Amino acid sequence: MGAYIAEFVGTAILVLLGDGVCCNVNLNKSGFKGGGAVYILIGWGMAVMVPAFTFGAASGAHFNPAVTIGAALRGGIGWNMVPGYIIAQMLGGFVGALILMALFADHIKETEDDATVRGCFCTGPSIPNTGLNFLSEFVATFILVFTLASIPGNCGDSGLSWVLVYGVIVACGASFGGLTGYAMNAARDTAPRIAYMLCGPNKGKKDPNWGYGWIPLIAPICGGIVASLLWNALKGMGAI
């Protein structure tokens, strides 16, 4: 149960800090409005690293269904734990988004465009193209899961592992973020998307955009599975 609680609270913090960066940069009358891509990259990297320092020892700091499924494929977690991890992650992402909606309620009121508000909580493609959008999320999550698999679970008492995770998140964002917003995580995208659909404001054309929204739900899991299978193969050959 402790691991499930860690995944729930850790994912909620991840969404609070990560989507909080998006709210700060995009919502009207925010003091940090227009902060730009570098601000978002740094903020999202920290959003993953900070709860990892707190909960890494308790649960492995997955905070992501794709990471959890990948870890199970590599033998890092029992399959019996996977459903509980994913449920905790999705609930954490949902709750984190609700708290953000309350914190930024006044700024959301000042932002007239539904799509801008939605974009604070879930991702969307810069150029809609189903095949390439799917491939973008697949490749980004492949890199995420493949590289995370090679980071030791605990680099001594310093917790260096989680600093390396920060580097992976920033690298993926810097290279792929401009394509689809680099969700790489259903708990970071699908759960807040549901929160927006159920509880977000309607400024005239509220649309959670499920026409695209299925991609950051499915593609990251596919990328994580392929990454873990390849990692297992290369590990068996002594290549890593």
Q: How confident is the model at residue 228 (pLDDT cuts 50, 70, 90)?
A: very high
pLDDT tens by residue, 124-166:
999 999 999 999 999 999 999 999 998 876 555 556 778 888 9
pLDDT tens by residue, 94-108:
999 999 999 999 999
Domain layout of the chain by residue ranges: 2-236
Mean pLDDT over 36-41 rounds to: 94
Q: How far apart are CA 74 and CA 62, in angstroms?
A: 14
Q: How far apart are CA 209 and CA 117, in angstroms?
A: 12
pLDDT, residue 112, reads 93
What predicted TM-score, i.e. pTM, was given to this entire model?
0.94
pLDDT tens by residue, 56-70:
888 988 999 999 999
Q: Is the pLDDT of residue 221 over 90?
A: yes
Q: How confident is the model at residue 15 (pLDDT cuts 50, 70, 90)?
A: very high
CATH of 2-236, one of 3.40.630.30, 2.40.440.10, 1.10.3720.10, 1.20.1080.10: 1.20.1080.10
Q: Classify residue 29 by burial, with Cβ atoms within 10 Å: 0-12, 13-18, 19+.
A: exposed
